[in-house]
């Protein structure tokens, strides 16, 4: 599949997440810390944490530290357009 207009590859998630959860997860994958995610998305740090809890529950992991490795290793198609 193609690339986004910015030239950066995106990830297509196999789970049904809402658009905001995808934005949070994409930033996590890019290595943006929670405070940075909150600033970039103009949401509170507690809202970021709520999204991370929801994401973790959706993919079936118990910790944020396992979230990105889990989805990258098992449930993403690299360079797909959202």
Cα distance between residue 8 and residue 13, in whole Å: 16
7-51 pLDDT tens trace: 333 444 567 788 898 899 989 989 999 999 999 999 999 999 999
**Residues in a beta bridge with 77:** 12
| Three-class HEC string of 4-67 | CCCCCCCEEECCCCCHHHHHHHHHHHCCCCHHHHHHHHCCCHHHHHHHHHHHHHHHCCCCHHHH
Token duo for residue 69: 């490795």
State residue 61's pLDDT score.
Answer: 87
For domain 18-76, give its CATH number from 1.10.10.10, 3.40.50.10190, 1.10.3720.10, 3.50.50.60.
1.10.10.10
| 0.85 surpassed by pTM | no
């Amino acid at each position: 599949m193609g690339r986004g207009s910015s030239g950066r590859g995106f990830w297509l998630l196999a789970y049904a997440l809402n658009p905001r959860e995808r934005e949070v997860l994409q930033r996590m994958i890019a290595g943006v810390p929670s405070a940075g995610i909150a600033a970039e998305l103009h949401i509170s740090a507690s809202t970021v944490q709520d999204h991370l809890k929801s994401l973790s529950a959706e993919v079936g992991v118990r910790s944020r530290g396992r979230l990105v490795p889990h989805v990258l290793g098992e449930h993403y198609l690299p360079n797909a357009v959202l």
